Amino acid sequence: MRTNRMTPAQARRTRRAVLQAVVDAGSRCAGLDAGAWFRGDDEPAIDWRPRRDSAIRVCTGCPVRAACEELALRNGDGEPDADELVRAGLTGPELAAVREHQAERLAAAADLDRDTEGRRLDDLLAQLHHEATKDPDHKAGTTRTIAACQTAQNTKVQALATQIRKIRTARRARTGWEKAA
Ligand code: SF4
């Protein structure tokens, strides 16, 4: 029997989504106050350090720590001189040090992420165009009213638009624009 096996290139391209799914499914910080992993604006070191150490302790026992670290590195979290967050049990300067050490591998991963994201965006835009321009009664059959079909279509369009907005916002944030226009 013939099996459809993923090529190494395909596997690398889907890695980011896989990492995110792993973190979403098993993170120890899910449901906790996300602010506990970030230093507040102008928060003095004497207040931040014990909070930082508590966050690191939670990460230490987290089953998805390795995936979380790779995502943080791919996302560019952490700066050499900014002790203001914790990811995967590492402070910002520690993440920056790991990133520098693995610069070549991460640059290649980031390129693949951008490719993957671009393809996903194109796909979502095509779906949005198709959904927004099709006849709402096209597949109505006999059991659904046109109004019900229209409502379902609007819901789909909104969901697609939300996904597109999220991707664009993330892309703009990476280039310093922060919010999608
Ligand atoms: S390693 Fe830490 S920041 Fe990452 S998912 Fe686990 S608890 Fe959350």
In a 3-state reduction of DSSP, which class is residue 114?
Answer: helix
DSSP 91: E
Per-residue burial over 18-40, b if 16 or more Cβ lie within 10 Å, else e, is ebeebbeeebebeeeeeeebbbe
Q: Which of 18, 28, 84 is nearest to 60 (CA)?
A: 28
Helix or strand holding residue 35 (H, E): none
Supply the mean pLDDT for the chain.
82
Residue nearest to atom 4 of ligand 1 (CA): 88
DSSP secondary structure string for all residues of 121-178:
HHHHHHHHHHHHHS-TTTT-TTTS-HHHHHHHHHHHHHHHHHHHHHHHHHHHHHTT--
The tokens describing 6, both together, are 């993923």
Q: How far apart are CA 9 and CA 27, in angstroms?
A: 27
Using most ligand atoms within 8 A of CB, pick from 23, 54, 75, 85 the residue to mutate for ligand 1.
23
The tokens describing 74, both together, are 């791919």
More confident residue, 55 or 130: 55
Please tell me the total count of domains within the chain.
Answer: 2
Last residue of a domain, one of 92, 112, 132: 112
More confident residue, 41 or 16: 41
- Do 83 and 121 reside in the same domain of the chain? no
Give the least confident one: 18-32, 61-75, 161-175.
Answer: 161-175
The pocket around ligand 1, CB under 6 angstroms, is made up of 23, 27-29, 37, 58-59, 62, 64-65, 68, 87-89
Cα 164 to middle of ligand 1, angstroms: 26
- Do 105 and 35 reside in the same domain of the chain? yes
Per-residue model confidence as pLDDT tens digits over 134-144: 876 655 455 66
Domain that holds residue 83: 8-112
At 1 the pLDDT is 45
Residue 124's pLDDT band, with cuts at 50, 70 and 90, is confident
Which atom in ligand 1 lies closest to the alpha carbon of residue 65? 1
- Do 22 and 101 reside in the same domain of the chain? yes
Cα 84 to middle of ligand 1, angstroms: 15
- Do 71 and 122 reside in the same domain of the chain? no
At 179 the pLDDT is 43
Residue nearest to atom 5 of ligand 1 (CA): 27
- Do 38 and 127 reside in the same domain of the chain? no
Cα 151 to middle of ligand 1, angstroms: 39
